[in-house]
Amino acid sequence: MVQHITSHSNEQIKAIGALKDKKRRRETGLFLAEGLRICTEAVEAGRTPRTIAFAAETEGHPVVARLIAAVEGGGGTAIATTRDILHKLTGKDNPQAVLGVFKAWDTQLRNVDRFASPRWLVAEGLKDPGNLGTMLRTCDATGAGGLILLDASCDPFSVEAVRASMGAVFTQAIVQAEGPAFLDWLRDGPGMLVGASLLTDTGYRDVAYAAPTFVFMGNEQSGLPPEYAGACDVLVKMPMLGKADSLNVAVSAAVLLYEVLAQQDALSSH
């Protein structure tokens, strides 16, 4: 049964709002996703919210009604509330009509089946959650297996990362690992580790990408650390014709993944 809550000081509302904080997410193993479409796609991907909060006046909307049924069917809680409270929970002027609370899942390397896709994205020390979410979205579009985050990367379950992923957080494998453990795992099977670097003359279009290929990006400030660059099977460079000699890391990752996809597709269709 849908609960109706109109008080800002309600404990459930406060508990939802607290999930904007990373520490609280870690303690509870829960995270937030905003938006009716994203929550609905999550259900389709097998991730049913534990709790949803939605603007009471949208309860009769057929898609909202289906989402409520899915949440309640999964033993979760549906809360009809006010736009004002949703505004406070999301920090946005025009809050999405639905906010979902999800259980984070196990992101350990041992869950990864490297043969699930011929291409993967690996990122080291990623700082910006918007870049992380954008990279998940690119993984989805290019049919990659998922995103492997090494070392002190930002939280894939933050509100900003989930928002930028446009739902891809629910469809992509997400792994968090330390670099040495990842390299051990990688070398325990087939896999071509391709580092994006400016310190090479090898063009990114001049390499034949094996399956599976792991595209390896350094972080926003400093690129791939030397010990990781040294562990790659090949380093590739994208043309940098401008003055800045740099590209957004999510942009670089996308250009590389689309090149890998194009090559692998051409091979598989011949």
Q: Look up residue 228 and give its two tokens.
A: 């990781």
Contact of 139 with 168, CB cutoff 8 Å: yes
Please tell me whether residue 126 binds a copy of itself under the rule CB under 8 A: no
Please tell me whether residue 137 binds a copy of itself under the rule CB under 8 A: yes
Cα distances (Å, whole numbers) of residue 72 to 50, 60, 81, 199: 9, 16, 16, 54
φ, ψ for residue 24 (rounded to 5)? -65, -40
Which is nearer to a copy of itself, 224 or 261 (by Cβ)?
261
Please tell me whether residue 142 binds a copy of itself under the rule CB under 8 A: yes
Please tell me whether residue 3 binds a copy of itself under the rule CB under 8 A: no
**Which among 58-66, 104-112, 187-195, 234-242 is the span making contact with a copy of itself, rule CB under 8 A?**
234-242
CA distance 216 to 193: 7
CA distance 177 to 163: 23
**Contact pick of 81, 138, 197, 219 for a copy of itself (by CB under 8 A):** 138
Residues 40-69 that bind a copy of itself (CB under 8 A): 41, 44-45
CB of 66 to a copy of itself, least distance (A): 17
Is the CA virtual torsion 125, 131, 136, 142 positive or negative? negative
Question: Per-residue x/- marks for a copy of itself, 152-191, CB under 8 A?
Answer: ------------x-xxx--x--------------------
**Contact pick of 97, 99, 120, 140 for a copy of itself (by CB under 8 A):** 140
Q: Look up residue 149 and give its two tokens.
A: 């985050």
The 3-state DSSP class for residue 148 equals strand
CA distance 240 to 161: 28
The site for a copy of itself (CB under 8 A) is made up of 41, 44-45, 130, 134, 137-143, 164, 166-168, 171, 205, 238-248, 250-251, 254-255, 258, 261-262, 265
